[in-house]
Amino acid sequence: MAKWVAARGGIGGLHHFAYQVESVEETIKEWEKKGWADFSSDPIVCDEDDLTQVFSVPHKLTGFIYEFIERRGNVGFCKSSVKNLMESSKENK
């Protein structure tokens, strides 16, 4: 996150919004159909944390990234997905 702030001249702000949804796949379909967001990758399935998640590319008007999370049990985070969040941020320079 420090690199993201540094790339913006030391100014922070909102990086992304995370929403828990019933179905990541269905939410992606709905948002793409309505033109609300674009997604640069397939959903990430984290079996060790019982969740599926996906990140949008930065929105063309706001720069915000949207994250959708589908939980099937454990309330933890997919540790391996932090890298994917930072990768999605590279689109927002």
Residue 27: its pLDDT value, please?
94
The domain in which residue 20 lies consists of 14-89
In a domain, 67, yes or no: yes
Average pLDDT over residues 49-69: 86
- C-beta of residue 67 within 8 angstroms of C-beta of residue 52: no
pTM: 0.67
Residue range 11-29, pLDDT digits in tens: 767 778 989 999 999 999 9
In a domain, 2, yes or no: no
In a domain, 6, yes or no: no
Rounded CA-CA distance 28/33 in Å is 8
Residue 92: its pLDDT value, please?
46
The total number of structural domains in the chain stands at 1
Model confidence at 88: pLDDT above 60: no
Give the domain CATH number at 72: 3.10.180.10
